[in-house]
Amino acid sequence: MPAIALIGLYLLVVFAPLGLAVAGGWPPRPVLDELAAGAGLVAFAILLAEFLLSGRFRAVSGRVGMDVTMRFHQLLARTALALAVVHPFLYTLPFNRPLPYDPTRQLTLTFEGEGLVTGVLAFLLLPSLVILSIGRDKLPFRYETWRFLHGMGALAVAGLVYLHAVEAGRYSQDWMLRWFWSGLLGLAVVSLLVVYVVKPLLQLRRKWHVSAVRQVAERTWELAIAPDGHEGLDYRAGQFVWLNVGHSPFSLNENPFSICSAPGDGREVRFLIKELGDFTSSLSRVRTGTQVHLDGPHGHLTLEGRAAPGIAFIAGGVGIAPMFSLLGQLVLEADTRPTVLVYGNRAADQIALGDKLARLRRVHKTQVVQVLSDPPADWSGEVGIIDAARIRALFGEEQYRDWLFVLCGPPAMMEIVEDTLIGIGVAPRNILAERFHYD
Ligand SMILES: Cc1cc2nc3c(=O)[nH]c(=O)nc-3n(C[C@H](O)[C@H](O)[C@H](O)COP(=O)(O)OP(=O)(O)OC[C@H]3O[C@@H](n4cnc5c(N)ncnc54)[C@H](O)[C@@H]3O)c2cc1C
């Protein structure tokens, strides 16, 4: 779905409860009370829409990219939290049982029993969920444990807020809004079921196995997988998948990795993986034949429909993985556009697949600029880091105006390069970026 249509649809979903509340024809209340109700309604709609944003649905993240979708997911969660926090404090009407002379509850709020308990529980749980996500890296448990708790916690908050809205909410008494909440909550539950039940079931029918694993640089491995009796993966160069090596497809043990092979290479799919945590540090123990499941392809770091007269690839560390895929496909398609690959590392033994780099130079005439911050004595490449000065020195006016810039690497490098390119005047539509971290 085009990004603009997606944003329009999102705004429609999030603000629909306000429209439905007005359509209910309730008599007006003091402004602060209406603001309180509005904050609660919008916060709940944002919360339910979060399930769809984080569900890895290609219709949602296919155009804008998974990293942008996840960034929105995080920002919107904080927005929902802010609205939820002010929601109870803006009310000026008495929290009381309905008065006999006030059947429309214009002058009182029914806020007791289930309505109170569910509201208070959700009020406590939602901040915990957001704070635990912000500080996730500092938690003493594994990413998979956090992910499970996050999903279950979000579902619990959604259920509690639903009960709170239909028990204590004034506008949610109306059948239109009730149906709206039920429909959106249903969609949220379905999106969880799709991710955790339907997709794993489909993966069972399309198994893969490890066909090769070898170390290709310091703490960096190349992992190859091959399909078990099916035609393989229909992907575009530069995309990524969630890879589950050696676990049941229903387990949460899966990690996102960019594909480093090119679609035209054949049915085997290869990855370049840097040791970081528990799974990536276990690659030395992975044996050929180990069963693999994958969810994908995902990602928008592709050259499809990009007619730029030249392409600059700027990679830091293992961010080189999707660049190999993109350049590999250009070679296979005998694409004659000029290409420059800027590849930064700390030390020489971190340079992955040096033979491929040499081949790109030789066969495709790619200008490969290697940058090391801690080079050996006999180093003939560039010394330092990929920063603003280097980017300014490497390219000319024509390239900044017309070329496509493809970026992937550590967050700090991405930020500097992106800011520099935009500062120089490169059009944002000519910058493609993939982030390996969603925080
Ligand atoms: C789109 C994308 C493409 C990537 N491509 C590559 C690649 O080609 N090569 C490479 O070496 N690394 C890549 N990464 C990073 C890689 O996913 C992490 O290094 C890896 O998941 C770490 O797993 P672990 O079990 O070793 O460490 P853990 O300690 O479990 O995780 C370390 C960090 O990795 C991230 N992470 C772990 N699991 C997931 C998950 N299921 N979903 C999202 N983030 C997760 C989290 O930020 C976590 O804090 C990519 C990441 C993304 C988002």
Distance 436 CA to ligand 1 centre (A): 7
Ligand 1 centroid to Cα of residue 101, in Å, is 60
List Cβ neighbours of 121 (8 Å cut-off, separation of 6 or more).
160
> Residue of the nearest CA to atom 41 in ligand 1?
255
Ligand 1 centroid to residue 103 C-alpha, Å? 55
Q: What CATH number labels 208-298?
A: 2.40.30.10
CA of 200 to the centre of ligand 1 (A): 19
What is the position in ligand 1's atom list of the atom closest to the CA of 257?
5
CB-ligand 1 contact for 143 (6 Å cutoff): yes
Find out whether 241 and 297 touch, Cβ atoms under 8 Å.
yes
Is the minimum distance from the CB of 321 to ligand 1 under 6 angstroms?
yes
Q: Which CATH class is domain 311-434?
A: alpha beta
**What's the whole-number mean pLDDT along residues 31-60?**
92
The protein residue whose alpha carbon is closest to atom 31 in ligand 1 is 277
What is the model's pLDDT at position 261? 97
- Tell how far the Cα of 230 is from the centroid of ligand 1, in angstroms: 27
**Cα separation of 308 and 283, whole Å?**
38
Atom of ligand 1 nearest to the CA of 136: 49
Same fold, 3-202 and 311-434: no
129-157 pLDDT, tens digit per residue, is 999 999 888 888 888 899 999 999 999 99
**The complex's ipTM?**
0.96
In tens, the pLDDT along 377-434 reads: 999 999 999 999 999 999 999 999 999 999 999 999 999 999 999 999 999 999 999 9
Residue 241 Cβ contacting ligand 1 at under 6 Å: no
pLDDT mean across residues, the chain: 91
Q: What are phi and psi of 208, to 5 degrees?
A: -130, 165
Give the position, in ligand 1's atom list, of the atom nearest the Cα of 253. Answer: 41
Cα angle 119-125-129, degrees, rounded to a multiple of 5? 145
Delimit the domains of the chain by residue range.
Answer: 3-202, 208-298, 311-434
Of 151, 161, 147, 181, nearest in space to 117 by CA: 161
Q: Within 13 A of 430's CA, how many CA atoms are on the CB side?
A: 20
Would you state the pLDDT for residue 94? 61
Ligand 1, atom 5, lies closest to the CA of 257
Q: Tell which one of 215, 259, 280 to mutate to probe ligand 1, the residue whose CB is within 8 A of the most ligand atoms.
A: 280
- What are 360-364's contacts with CB under 8 Å, separation 24+? 360/327, 360/331, 363/331, 364/327, 364/330, 364/331, 364/339
Task: With a cut of 70, say whether residue 97 has pLDDT above it.
Answer: no
Position in ligand 1 atom list of the atom nearest CA 256: 17
Residue to mutate (ligand 1; options 143, 146, 302; most atoms within 8 A of CB): 143
Per-residue pLDDT reduced to its tens digit, 157-206: 999 999 999 888 889 988 999 999 999 999 999 999 999 999 999 999 99
* 254 touches ligand 1 (CB under 6 Å): yes
CATH 1.10.3470 assigned to domain 3-202? The reply is: no
